[in-house]
Amino acid sequence: MKARLPQGYGGGGASNLQQLARQAQKLQEQMKKTTEELEAKEYAASAGGDAVRATATGKMEIKSIEIKPEVVDPDDVEMLSDLVLAAVNEALRAAAADKAAQMEKISGGLNMPGML
């Protein structure tokens, strides 16, 4: 007895593969375009009531750090370091979250290792 595939499967093997390849290529092009757009964006975050402000790019690079003069206390460098770290980490988290959300929109939540 021969196994039968459900209706709509099989029969058009080569054309189905070509269609799948075209869809994959279109998805890859969309992802590349979105990645380029995201890398051009800037994400800013602040800490200590805006005493320290960090700006990161979508490439996960820190573009600038602004420190208000009144928070520079030579006797409390540790606090300033903590504020800088908090602002930088928040800016990087914002960039990463935006990238993840945009890629999920494109992929429909499909997990594609190596492509995202």
Burial letters 10-47, b for 16+ CB under 10 A, else e: eeeeeeeeeeeeeeeeebeeebeeebeebeeeebebbb
Residue 106 has a pLDDT of 84
- CATH fold group of domain 18-107: Ybab; Chain: A; (3.30.1310)
CA 2 and chain centroid, separation: 48
Residue 20: predicted pLDDT: 85
State the sign of the Cα–Cα–Cα–Cα dihedral 23, 28, 29, 30: positive
Which residue type is seen at 14?
Answer: A
107: pLDDT strictly greater than 90: no
pLDDT of residue 3: 63
The residues spanned by each domain of the chain are: 18-107
Would you give the DSSP letter of residue 56? Answer: E
E strands present in the chain: 42-47, 52-57, 62-67
State residue 65's pLDDT score.
96
Q: In the predicted model, what is the mean pLDDT of the chain?
A: 86
Entry pTM = 0.70
In this prediction, residue 116 has a pLDDT band, given cuts at 50, 70 and 90, of: very low
* Closest-CA residue to 42 (of 61, 56, 27): 56
For 15-47, write each residue's pLDDT tens digit: 788 888 888 899 889 999 999 999 999 999 999
